[in-house]
Chain A
Amino acid sequence: MGLLSIIRKIKKKEKEMRILMVGLDNSGKTTIVLKINGEDTSVISPTLGFNIKTIAYQKYTLNIWDVGGQKTIRSYWRNYFEQTDGLVWVVDSSDLRRLDDCKMELDNLLKEERLSGASLLILANKQDIKGALAPEEIAKNSGQQAATALLLRCDCASMTLLFAAAMTATVYSTLHANSVAVMGSAATLHHYSALLTT
């Protein structure tokens, strides 16, 4: 009981979250961030550095860092590990051939000491593409225990709320002792957002 109240006390003041969004190149990170922010996504070049977007969700402020995923610049990811509350790992669910690369890069990230306190959200992107792997399969391939990974079925369409709710819920559920698996249904996410407003 003591633990929970401490958590709540800290969390009350802790309304700003730093979210690091990484994944292989072409997985859709920039598209997602721009969509979330309601910006034009018709011309997006592969990211050479990074973008930062701030979105407000209920009483939370999410600072989202979108970092380029080309092989040459993956080594820069570590520049952003410090102070990260939530890690969003974006997967192109239609890129079957690079799933192994994808897993290897994620495994490397999760070994990072500096990320050990951060929550993990695995985003199975491009679900609209025929032939894409289902979120459940992506989770299995990532080798993630359902209890720590949260999956979001997503096709980049009007996802601001969904994303913010998912992210907040992920960070929140790490703080809260029972990290419940949430399997990509909007209903579950609404449940979480209801929890968070109270």
Chain B
Amino acid sequence: MDDEMEKETILDNKEAEAEAALQKKHLSMLDRLSKRQQSRSTTSTEPSTDSTSSFLSRFSQLKSSIESHLSDSQSLSSDPSQLKPHFDKISESISDLEKLVAQSSYFLPSYDVRSSLKTVSDLKRSLDCLSSELIPKKKFSFKNKAKASKKDQGSVLPESKPVRDSVQPSYVARDSPGFRNKTGEVLVGEFKESEIGEFTISDLDSCEVRIIGCIRALFIHRLKNCRVYVGPVTGSILIEEAEGCVFAIASHQIRIHGARRSDFYLRVRSRPIVEDCNGVRFAPYCLSYRGIEEDLRGADLDAETGNWANVDDFRWLRAVQSPNWSILPENERVGIVDISNSESMKEEI
């Protein structure tokens, strides 16, 4: 076996650098493994329930101390200069608590990790709420966050947004099927016979999109004042940046990022999610064309699951209703939209 493994050695002399990096990685892994070996042998006599329970008692101690600090905040609110350091301190304790969970996560039962992480995020949210309630909002809230993040060196805070300097994606040239860069048009696609792979709808202004038939995956990006009517999507739909739009879409999964003032008529098998959205409203699917029943059945989307109303807001993981989305009142819904007779306007894709 040894000989065979030795034979596997393929050294590309051009890649000496990569080789060195690999060597380093390799050594650090060895180092880690031997350390782990040691720690395992020294702790092996100790049943794991012990470390779990000592974690839990430590955790609940820290938790109640943070909670009591949080509840002290109201009494401090008369003196705004004290509030800031007070909140900073709490924020620090919360990240310590989070670190404790992370460090213990490899021996804790998954239920405990999950509930501890939930507690941590609840505490963070309470802190966010309290600080936005008690500290008058400045125009530049960015500064606060930047400062808070210094406390937690080298880690990514939820607030930190990826910096996108160039918006130009590297694979834009590749022509995948889609509707792109149009203003004030009706765009019709029909995929009755052949199921299509991924389809992209992007950079449209004041357009109406009608797609008859099944798609596997749908990407929607940067739409303004558009109406988008789409037959069943067997995989998932990803929507990023939409404003003033109406969507009638059906899919197994729906993710909506960065949408504002838009209405969504959905049929969806799992829970739809929103992230960084505002003023978005939801109602059941309302699309019709000749043969849609069959298409829906073929895509396993014929049953109404009621999930159009079970929206999860990833920016608002709390029991109380998110302010970012709502149910579209019945008297404001559009009724059935029939796109059967789109043939005459059909455009080549």
Contact = CB atoms under 8 A, between A and B. Distances in A.
Contacts of B269: 42-43
A175 B26 contact: yes
A46 B273 contact: yes
Contact of B253 (A44, A78, A145): A44
B198 interface: yes
Interface string B111-123: 0001001100000
A10 B19 contact: no
The B contact surface, by secondary structure, is: mixed
Contacts of B110: 52
A95 B103 CA distance: 34
Interface stretch (B32-40, B71-79, B205-213, B338-346): B32-40
The A contact surface, by secondary structure, is: loop
B157 interface: yes
Interface residues of B, number: 77
B312 A45 contact: yes
A147 B16 CA distance: 11
Contact of A18 (B15, B106, B202, B275): B106
Contact of A48 (B9, B156, B317): B317
Given A6-B30, A94-B198, A129-B216, A46 B1 contact: no
B257 interface: yes
Contacts of B217: 94, 126, 129
Contact of A129 (B1, B11, B31, B198): B198
B176 interface: yes
A177 B18 contact: no
Contacts of B5: 176, 178, 195
A104 B162 CA distance: 8
B150 to A, nearest CB: 15
B4 to A, nearest CB: 7
Nearest to B2: A4
Interface size class of A (residues with CB under 8 A): 35 or more
A178 B9 contact: yes
Contacts of B49: none
Interface stretch (B52-60, B167-175, B283-291, B321-329): B167-175
B29 A145 contact: no
Contacts of B8: 176, 178, 180
Interface in A51-104: 52, 70-76, 78-83, 94-101, 104
A73 B118 CA distance: 12
Given A95-B238, A181-B10, 9 more contacts: A75-B157, A96-B174, A101-B162, A105-B162, A108-B156, A116-B28, A117-B25, A130-B198, A177-B26
Interface of A: 4, 6-7, 10-11, 13-14, 18, 25-26, 42-46, 48-50, 52, 70-76, 78-83, 94-101, 104-105, 108, 116-119, 126, 129-133, 141, 145, 147-148, 174-181, 195, 198
7 contacts: A44-B252, A45-B270, A48-B312, A48-B317, A96-B172, A130-B198, A131-B177
Top 7 A-B pairs, shortest CB-CB distance: A130-B197, A117-B29, A45-B270, A79-B102, A178-B9, A96-B171, A45-B271
